[in-house]
Amino acid sequence: MSTKATQTQHVALKHAPKDAVKREFAKRLQERLFEKGWSSADLARHAGKFTGKDHFERSNISKYISGESIPRDKHLRAICGALGCKPEDLLPRNAATAGDHVPIEVRDAGNGNAWLRLEVALPWPKVTEVMNIIHAHRVE
């Protein structure tokens, strides 16, 4: 299901809130679990096989799913191994190394238009400038 209309492109920005990265990671992890039909307990059981131990704490998985935290490298590799994906499939670009990045979501809306969602702290004059640009080019 990788049509142009459903593809999402993530762009990293510096100095963005870490909470946004955690939320994006949680969202992507939840999507993967839904696709597999797994619960957090299922993921913990499967990820445990990739840690060299027989188990993976389900409480850790709950923290990741809720957006409370992002796993460290060892746990991230175990989760990705269990889900059959790469870290960049779950983490916004550069989040693994820079933790202070947030994605801008851009989706094709068809007819030469795109949906844009962003979460960026800006000074009020810049916010007004962006809003004026959006209003001037808004598609009804």
Chain segment 29-65, per-residue pLDDT in tens: 999 999 999 999 999 999 998 887 766 888 989 999 9
Radius of gyration of the chain (CA): 18
Candidates 3.40.930.10, 3.40.50.1010, 3.40.50.1000, 1.10.260.40; CATH matching 8-137: 1.10.260.40
Cβ atoms of 22 and 54 within 8 Å: the answer is no
The domain locations on the chain are 8-137
Whether 119 shows a pLDDT value over 90: the answer reads no
- Angle at which helix 58-65 crosses helix 73-83, to 10 degrees, equals 90
pLDDT of residue 33: 95
**Which carries the bigger pLDDT value, residue 99 or residue 82?**
82
**What letter does residue 3 receive in the DSSP assignment?**
-
> Which contacts (CB < 8 Å, 24+ apart) does range 85-91 have?
85/32, 89/28, 89/32, 90/25, 90/28, 90/29, 90/32, 91/21, 91/25, 91/28
Residue 139 CB coordination number (10 Å): 8
| Element of type H or E holding 107 | strand 102-110
